[in-house]
């Protein structure tokens, strides 16, 4: 999240350049961050560790020990095969769709504020939001609670939105942006962890992840439509 804040500062710098080479500024922004994403993705192939049964740096005894601990914890230490029947069964679980709705509700404000705020002014809320997210993550793990903190983050977002929408003072509005971004952005990893912690078997995790991430993308699409021209300049 902090990186998101710094990326906005970089974009702000690019925006000051009328034209860079043969391409206009906005195209170079996509090239720059696209190259970074590809490079990190390639690096991930080398650094991201497989599940214990496939981790090459573990001995057979170590693999067995870790898998036994996973089975004792949640009973799915060995991956089960995803079949059409299992996929249909998992798709009919209403709780998975609730996780999807939660994630959609988290990505909508997060994406919406990235469209609304100017690039430079949006950087500080994202940096503060990263600190807030680390604190919430620590408390959530320490207390072994997810839903309570997801609800807390949603409440923080709502308060921030109310300040932006109904308070006249510009400083108070900007403070509202801090709250809205803190709560909304924090709920992105919070909901993903909430869903992962409450989904058993790898076949169901696969289906649930697809539903949740897909509905998160829908939140981004919705966010791009909430600022209508007829609502200018308040965008209530």
Find the CATH number of the domain harbouring 144: 1.20.1250.20
- Domain contains 70: no
- Domain contains 207: yes
**Residue-wise pLDDT tens digits, 190-205:** 999 999 989 988 889 9
- Domain contains 195: yes
Domain count, the chain: 1
The per-residue pLDDT for 118 is: 60
Residues with Cβ within 8 Å of 187's Cβ and at least 6 positions away in sequence, in order, are 102, 105, 106, 150, 153, 154, 157
Q: Is the pLDDT of residue 20 over 70?
A: no
The per-residue pLDDT for 120 is: 63
Q: Is the pLDDT of residue 65 over 60?
A: yes
Whole-angstrom distance, CA of residue 25 vs CA of residue 5: 19
Where in the sequence is the domain holding 157, given as residue range(s)? 80-227
- Domain contains 54: no
């Amino acid at each position: 999240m902090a990186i998101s804040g710094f990326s906005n500062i970089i974009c702000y710098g690019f925006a000051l350049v009328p034209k860079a080479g043969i391409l206009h500024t906005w195209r170079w922004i996509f090239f720059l961050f696209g190259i970074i994403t590809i490079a990190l993705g390639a690096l991930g192939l080398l650094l991201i560790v497989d599940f214990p049964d496939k981790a090459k740096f573990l001995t057979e005894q170590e693999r067995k020990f870790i898998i036994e601990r996973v089975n004792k914890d949640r009973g799915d230490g060995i991956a089960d095969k995803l079949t059409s029947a299992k996929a249909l069964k998992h798709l009919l679980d209403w709780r998975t769709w609730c996780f999807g709705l939660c994630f959609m509700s988290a990505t909508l404000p997060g994406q919406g504020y990235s469209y609304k705020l100017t690039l430079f002014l949006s950087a500080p809320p994202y940096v503060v939001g990263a600190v807030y997210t680390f604190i919430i993550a620590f408390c959530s793990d320490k207390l072994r609670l997810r839903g309570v903190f997801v609800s807390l983050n949603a409440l923080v977002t709502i308060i921030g939105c109310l300040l932006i929408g109904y308070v006249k003072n510009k400083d108070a509005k900007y403070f509202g942006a801090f709250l809205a971004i803190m709560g909304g952005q924090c709920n992105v990893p919070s909901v993903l962890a909430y869903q992962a912690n409450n989904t058993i078997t790898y076949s169901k995790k696969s289906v649930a992840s697809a539903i949740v991430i897909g509905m998160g993308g829908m939140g981004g699409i919705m966010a791009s439509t909430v600022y209508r021209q007829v609502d200018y300049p308040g965008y209530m």
